[in-house]
Chains A and B, each alone.
Chain A
Amino acid sequence: MNGIDLLGMEDLSRADIETFLETATHMQEIGRRDVKKVPTLRGRTIVNLFFESSTRTRTSFEIAGKRLSADVVNFTPSASSLSKSESILDTAKTLDAMDPDAVVIRHGVAGVPKRIADELSAPVINAGDGAHEHPTQALLDLLTVYEEKERIDGLTVTIIGDIAHSRVARSNIQGFLKMGAEVRVAGPPTMIPAQVETLGVKAFGSLREAIDGADVVMALRIQRERLSGAFVPSIREYAATFGLDRAKLRFAKDDAIVMHPGPVNRGVELAHDLADRRPSVVLDQVRNGVALRMAVLYLLAGRHRERAL
């Protein structure tokens, strides 16, 4: 790992990923106790800095922090730094002066967690930056697949949807590739980023070909505003061509699992009966999110970077 932050799957080695996953498996045990709390981060402060609202991810980090006995503070600045005429670096310096032990950042623009990390002595955990990375989502997805398949090496993973605008796709591509899986992507051509093969994946225009023989089929959440003509003619057409249902899933392996980072647009990305019933593991993903984020906070919170002033 590069230093003390978790900014993206791109920075992690396979061994780093294994450490996060293995630690998370031990954290899962705490979630099964009556007293779901350990004193590990007592007296430590974790700041949830969410420039972009995301109740699910923020709550998941908040529960994770609280199960480790940290004080979790939610800080939700409105809109972009421009509207407050406060630069990102000012935000970072202000935070730094409050001596947090970890800062969890969600921002609508790629690169902001990195820029803040450059100014902060506490570890920065990227909770999603624009269409760039969402490493804790990828790690919890890896954990979920590991639980189901007991391996990742050699699996075929197909990611479907708006690859171009998806941080979940980018982080999962990196994560699954580093752990030895084959990764395919599929989606409308307008939603496949330029030269996507440079990421190490194969791109498919047809859903059926993309999921042929897949062990894991991951549907991405689609922003509805992109389905009204700008990238795809209509929601109906998207659901018909790239929405996943049990009939289409037949082309995948018999024991294939279906994943989705949530929240699901039922009837768009996943058919209604695939949203939360087997072979969908969507709720396991949510459950694993807390354990995985506990692992991340345990391994990073309280460490500080050496900085030349």
Chain B
Amino acid sequence: MSSDPPVQSSRVRAESRSADAVSEGVPAHVVLDDVAIGRALMRIAHEVVERNDDLASLYLVGVPNGGVPLARRLAANLGEVADLDPLVGILDTTLYRDDLVGEGARPLLRKTEMPSAVDDRVVILVDDVCSTGRTVRAAMDALMDFGRPRAVQVVALVDRGHRELPIKIDYVGKNIPTRHGDLVKLLMEGASGDERLRVVVEQEGSR
């Protein structure tokens, strides 16, 4: 697990799978481009600094796939804004999901890489899109297996509503009202660390 692959580690396969590849020929409109995402993450970095006293205890945890490059960028922004070098971890929530039942094939696992325990840390979970709140719930359960954080805050680049659990997002990049059946995706192009990001909405019925 030493490599630093784009979003998804795939040690065994020759070519890596991209879970979020754009479906060919599906009309999707871009709601956030790379520049807008950069701006939102910079604003969030300022908010994080404003809201927290003990900045040295910050620990950013990205939820794969989309949360990983976002957490990395947010960490860089915190360096720029407050000269911080926070820990950054990757936490796959798949094994904590509440929908692993039924006949179908199980979702493939993604990398988890937590550089240290979370005890007494202020953990900032970073996810790309928040909707039902179930991923955040799963991520919080997963986090507790790595210790007892002092506080947990949540970043979502996009909050699209339709919450099914009492989950509040602390830092929102952009609220995007959607219909239930729409798909909101963070897409990545280019090499890890130098990737270009954009958020697209595929409307229900156009697929």
Touch A–B, Cβ below 8 Å: yes
A contact set with B: CB distance below 8 Å? 18-19, 21-23, 25-27, 29-30, 33-35, 37-40, 68, 146, 298-299, 302-304, 306
CB proximity of B189 to chain A, nearest CB, Å: 23
A22 contact set on B, CB distance < 8 A: 10-13, 108-109
C-alpha spacing A26/B92, complex, angstroms: 9
B95 touches A40 (CB 8 A): yes
B112 within 8 A of A: yes
Q: Which of A19, A26, A304 contacts B110 (CB 8 A)?
A: A26
B4 within 8 A of A: no
Q: Which of A25, A33, A303 contacts B1 (CB 8 A)?
A: A25
B104 contact set on A, CB distance < 8 A: 303
**Cβ-closest 3 pairs across A and B:** A26-B109, A38-B95, A40-B95
A299 touches B106 (CB 8 A): yes
B102 contact set on A, CB distance < 8 A: 302-303
C-alpha spacing A53/B146, complex, angstroms: 36
B109 touches A23 (CB 8 A): yes
B103 touches A39 (CB 8 A): no
Total A-B pairs, Cβ < 8 A? 61
Give 21 A-B contacts (CB < 8 Å), ordered by A residue.
Answer: A21-B12, A22-B11, A22-B12, A22-B13, A22-B109, A23-B108, A25-B11, A26-B110, A30-B95, A33-B145, A34-B146, A35-B145, A35-B146, A38-B95, A39-B141, A68-B95, A298-B106, A302-B100, A302-B102, A303-B102, A303-B104
A21, A30, A38: most-surrounded residue (chain B CB, <10 A)? A38
A26 touches B101 (CB 8 A): no
C-alpha spacing A26/B108, complex, angstroms: 10
Given A23-B108, A29-B1, A33-B145, A18-B13 contact (CB < 8 Å): yes
In which size bucket is the chain B interface? 20 to 34
A304 touches B106 (CB 8 A): no
Residue on A with the closest CB to B111?
A26
A38 touches B11 (CB 8 A): no
C-alpha spacing A38/B142, complex, angstroms: 8
Residue on A with the closest CB to B97?
A40
B34-54 interface mask toward A, CB cutoff 8 Å, 1 = contact, 0 = none? 000000000000000000000
C-alpha spacing A18/B111, complex, angstroms: 16
In addition to A39-B96, A40-B100, 10 A-B residue pairs with Cβ atoms within 8 Å of each other are A26-B110, A26-B111, A27-B109, A33-B146, A34-B147, A35-B145, A38-B96, A68-B95, A298-B109, A303-B104
C-alpha spacing A23/B109, complex, angstroms: 6
A29 contact set on B, CB distance < 8 A: 1, 111-113
Given A26-B111, A39-B96, A146-B103 contact (CB < 8 Å): no
A33 contact set on B, CB distance < 8 A: 145-146
B21 within 8 A of A: no
A146 touches B1 (CB 8 A): no
Q: Which of A26, A40, A299, A303 contacts B112 (CB 8 A)?
A: A26
List B145-160 residues whose CB lies under 8 Å from chain A: 145-147
B117 within 8 A of A: yes
C-alpha spacing A30/B9, complex, angstroms: 16
Given A302-B100, A303-B103, A18-B12 contact (CB < 8 Å): yes
List B138-194 residues whose CB lies under 8 Å from chain A: 141-142, 145-147
C-alpha spacing A155/B92, complex, angstroms: 32
Residue on A with the closest CB to B113?
A29
C-alpha spacing A304/B96, complex, angstroms: 21
C-alpha spacing A273/B142, complex, angstroms: 42
A146 touches B112 (CB 8 A): no
B12, B109, B117, B142: most-surrounded residue (chain A CB, <10 A)? B12
CB proximity of B61 to chain A, nearest CB, Å: 14
A298 contact set on B, CB distance < 8 A: 95, 106, 109
B112 touches A39 (CB 8 A): no
CB proximity of A5 to chain B, nearest CB, Å: 14
B146 touches A302 (CB 8 A): no
CB proximity of B9 to chain A, nearest CB, Å: 8
B106 touches A146 (CB 8 A): no
Residue on A with the closest CB to B98?
A39
A306 contact set on B, CB distance < 8 A: 103
CB proximity of B90 to chain A, nearest CB, Å: 10
CB proximity of B148 to chain A, nearest CB, Å: 11
C-alpha spacing A283/B22, complex, angstroms: 43
CB proximity of A33 to chain B, nearest CB, Å: 6
A146 touches B12 (CB 8 A): yes
A39 contact set on B, CB distance < 8 A: 95-96, 141
List B74-100 residues whose CB lies under 8 Å from chain A: 92, 95-96, 100
